[in-house]
Amino acid sequence: MSTVEIIKNSVLSSMNAHFEHLHRNPELSFEESQTAAYIAEKLKSYGYEVFENIGKTGVVGKLSHGDGKMAIGLRANTDALPIEEKIDLPYKSQVAGKAHLCGHDAHTTMLLGAAEYLAKHKPFNGTIYLIFQPAEEIMGGAVAMLNDGLLEKFPMDAIFGLHNMPSLELGKLYLTGGAIMAAVDNWEIKLTGVGSHGSMPEKSIDPVVAGAALVMSLQTIVSRNVAAKDAAVVTVGAFLAGQAGNVIPQEAILRLSTRTSRPEMREHVLNRIRAITAATAAAYEVQYEIQEGQPGAVLVNDTEHTERVCGIAQQLLGAENVVNPGPTFMGSEDFAFYAQKIPAVYAFIGNGNTPMVHHPEYVFNRENLSVGAAYWVALAESYLK
């Protein structure tokens, strides 16, 4: 019997219960108090030493066995999205306007399933830290846990992450060494002018016109300042100004996000945004203020550990079900901040031909629960011999 089948027979019933409970009760970033309490209660019942309120609503479970000195971290994310679920599932979200439409409920479930199996059988020699991280959707949870002393309180030799991905073949694992996901930077630019009646524009300094010019100028960064072989995105997703058609407003706000695939390119793109904003503001005689959000980070997998994990995954699932190198994405993940500190490997598990994550009709394929849990168990067994 394969390890996946063993895991399925051992903990699938528990995982189904976890998954449906978490899916019905979604909580947004840094609001995951009930989710954290549920996780902590389950871990305690399995015999883990449990640490709560790490990075606000994060939970860490610790399990040691034998005399091994090595420690690894297995990380799942716990937050939901502010989106209304459109699929009428038997376990549909019971909270209006909130739903687990990225699969974080499933990621948490897979790690809880592995936690139960590892505690029952202890097929390892060393220490496992199970990291249930909040607020991945706003790129804040990893930094919050790190700032709360995650790696100092729970020193680990390597850390591992796993995320489902629609459009990739169901149940297959995808691993790639090096940079695999882009850095995201979310900024807000406020342009302040002088308001006026719409019939007297000469008495105004119009922030709408300045903002419109700025939107178009920012689009030249990728087309003219980034090499064609590189990947970058600059998106202005919100332009907020005024309420009436016959009033020139006092200010305009632009909210934008950038995605960059290399650290040095990130700095270049952000510097161009700063320079173009300053020049445009000067040309249109408006004042400007840039509010820079959490600095982004490119997610970089440790190459040596990626090769090792690939071998472990092939033994678990068969070489035909492990893709290396796999695809890379312009999406972002705050797992990148762990990877800046210690060796890290982030893998994708194919969710099949479903709507993409963050889509109101996205559905996690539950066939992956046993595969994901078995993957965590295999990492623990191999790294902690």
Return binding residues for Mn(2+).
102, 104, 137, 163, 358
- The token pair at 238 is 């919100």
Helix (H, G, I), strand (E, B) or coil at 214: helix
Helix (H, G, I), strand (E, B) or coil at 315: helix
- The token pair at 116 is 């139960």
Q: Please tell me the distance from the alpha carbon of residue 314 to that of residue 370, in angstroms, as a whole number.
A: 16
Give the strand order in the sheet containing 126-133. Answer: 49-54, 58-65, 126-133, 71-77, 158-165, 344-350, 173-174, 322-323
What is the b/e burial string over 351-360, where b = at least 16 CB atoms within 10 angstroms of the residue's CB? bbebbebeee
According to DSSP, the β-strands at 173-174 and 126-133 are unpaired
- The token pair at 30 is 């840094």
Q: How many CB atoms lie within 10 A of CB 102?
A: 23
In the DSSP assignment, the letter for residue 23 is: H
C-alpha to C-alpha distances, 258 to 49, 354, 372, nearest whole angstrom: 40, 26, 31
- At 116, phi and psi to the nearest 5? -65, -45
What radius of gyration do the chain's Cα atoms show? Answer: 23
Binding-site sequence positions: 102, 104, 137, 163, 358
Residue whose C-alpha is closest to residue 236's, from 253, 260, 261: 253
- Cis, peptide link before residue 325, omega less than 30° from 0: yes
Element of type H or E holding 266: helix 263-284
Beta strands per DSSP E along the chain: 49-54, 58-65, 71-77, 126-133, 158-165, 173-174, 178-181, 183-192, 196-197, 232-240, 247-248, 251-260, 287-292, 299-301, 322-323, 344-350
